[in-house]
Amino acid sequence: MGSETLSPQTRIFRDMPVPAALRKMILPAVVSQLIVLIYNMADTFFVGQTGDPYMVASTSLILPVFNITLCLAGLSGIGGGSLISRLLGQNREEEARKVGVFSLWLGFSIAAAFALGTFLFMDPLLGLLGAGENTYPYARQYALCVIVLGGIPTVLSNVLANLIRSIGRSREASTGIILGGLLNIALDPLFMFVLLPSGHAVLGAGIAACISNCVALLFFLRVVAGMGPCSIITFDPRTGLPARSSIAGVFGVGIPSAVATLLFDLDYVILDKLMVSYHDLALAAIGIVLKVERFPLNVGIGICQGMLPLVAYNYSAGDKKRMEDAIRLSRGLGLVIAGMSILLYELFAPQLAGLFISDPQTVALATQFLRIRVLATPLMFLSFFTVYLFQSFGKGRISLFLGVTRWLGFNIPMLFLLNTLVGMYGLVWSQVTADTLTVILSFCVYFRFRPRLKED
């Protein structure tokens, strides 16, 4: 059989040399993660150009709710994608196809229910988030666009990206995400400052986000259509339901992924709330640091996303050497990038902080914070790398245990403890301290589980 007739997962997951396979899977995922990071900052940046604090505050109020939609996408996308790769490793293509259909319709149903619930309970929801008289109109406009109207496209785009990547098509998966992100960046100023009248910048940002996610979804639908009727990824409900064990497998990995994402956001919220008790400069400084540190973090997430399908396939196929080579190379790449980020951030912390604000006092404080927080970069990478590994093995309970322990057992309690003992700088050191404990726990769990890999 000629190599041109082989399926993508066979060419990449089974036959291609591991370094080349990882390059094909990881590079597009990393690029898409960086675009997502820039895209997530775009609305805040352009709304900030209005100089209206109420507009800026309104978009920040809706951000936690928007993050929930991404958690919902992870539930069906990561849960379904991990299982599809393992099923393909077992040559169970028909069951993988059923899991794909189930994951897509699960994502659609959850997104539709969440969008409808947000629309019906908009007033109490905005009140709970803290919307006041001045921010309520803007927050409502933004929520209607990005969650009510844009919720389904957002969730389905992310679900399809994970599922398409799970069958070895990382480039197509990342292209759709990149397309949506770049389009949003381009449409933001067009709708905010050109097409809509003055005073409607938040509405313009919401419309731009909604349109960009719809275009990304259309791109993914075209990719799926181009795969043909026998594709692993399909919307056709006539394919039938997967086995109960497969449905449990989707939720078993998807729910821990969603919970970990929620707790990650909760940690950032608590850090902001505790930093408020000091002074405005400290809050501004930590806000800058949290943005800057996301660059190496998102690169690490891209490495994990690209690695997961390759490891899952070879784990189920029983190719232990190929699986361990993929794990070793991915982990090494992530640690090298984390080490480079430490060097660059230690050297250029003032310049990086100065990109976001010109006030010298805030820049000086952000420089100190960044030089401390960046020390946690390799630890943070190893922490979520281990969680992704167990997701690729289909061990949802272990990934849930590690995720919950990391945030509720170490990170969040450490924020309160070090804030009480040390004060403001204790909050900054909390990430290094908590992730040191997390890495120790993660390695203990992984090496205890490792002998079972051969048996599985």
Q: Which of 73, 67, 74, 68 is CA-nearest to residue 399?
A: 74
Query: Is residue 412 a contact partner of residue 270, using CB atoms and an 8 Å limit?
Result: yes
Q: Up-side HSE of residue 71: CA atoms within 13 Å toward CB? A: 18
Same domain as 343, residue 304: yes
The pLDDT value recorded for residue 453 is 64
Q: Does 237 fall in a domain? A: yes
Q: What are phi and psi of 83, to 5 degrees?
A: -70, -40
User: What does the alpha-carbon distance between residue 379 and residue 373 come to, in Å, rounded to a whole number?
Assistant: 11
102, 146: one domain = yes
Q: What is the pLDDT of residues 228-278, one digit of tens each?
A: 777 888 888 888 888 899 999 899 888 888 888 888 877 877 887 788 778
Q: Rg of the Cα trace of the chain? A: 22
In a domain, 290, yes or no: yes
Same domain? 199 vs 347 = no
Residues 175 and 289 in one domain: no
Domain boundary among 190, 208, 242: 242
CA atoms within 13 A on the CB side of 119: 14
Gap between the Cα atoms of 298 and 384, Å rounded: 11
- Do residues 78 and 98 both lie within one domain? yes
Q: Is residue 9 part of a domain?
A: no
pLDDT tens, 305-355?
899 999 999 998 888 899 999 999 999 999 999 999 999 999 998 988 887
Q: Which of 201, 216, 242 is the last residue of a domain?
A: 242
Strand, coil or helix: what is 231?
A: coil
Burial letters 201-214, b for 16+ CB under 10 A, else e:
bbbbbbbbbbbbbb
Are both 175 and 31 inside the same structural domain? yes
Do 141 and 265 lie in a common domain?
no
- Residue 110 and residue 224 share a domain: yes
Please, are residues 154 and 213 in contact by the beta-carbon 8 Å criterion?
A: yes
Q: What's the domain count of the chain?
A: 2
Residue among 253, 254, 302, 301 nearest 25 (CA): 302
Q: 163 lies in which domain range? A: 17-242
> In this structure, are 96 and 153 located in the same domain?
yes
Question: CA-CA distance, 60 to 417, in Å (whole number)?
Answer: 27
CA-to-CA dists, residue 448 to 312, 329, 398, 411, 441, angstroms: 19, 21, 12, 23, 11
Instruction: Give the residue from 242, 277, 296 where a domain finishes.
Output: 242
Q: Give the C-alpha separation, 173 to 32, whole Å.
A: 9
One domain for residues 215 and 362: no
User: 232 with 273, same domain?
Assistant: no
pLDDT at 157: 92
Residue 6 lies in a domain: no
- Nearest CA to 102 out of 271, 233, 202, 222 is that of 233
- The stretches in the chain having pLDDT less than 70 are 1-10, 43-44, 48, 51-53, 60, 279-280, 356-357, 453-456
pLDDT at 397: 86
Q: What is the model's pLDDT at position 2?
A: 39
pTM: 0.83
CA distance linking residue 174 with residue 180, whole number of Å: 10
Residues 365, 223: Cα–Cα separation, whole Å: 47
Asked whether residue 266 is domain-assigned, the answer is yes
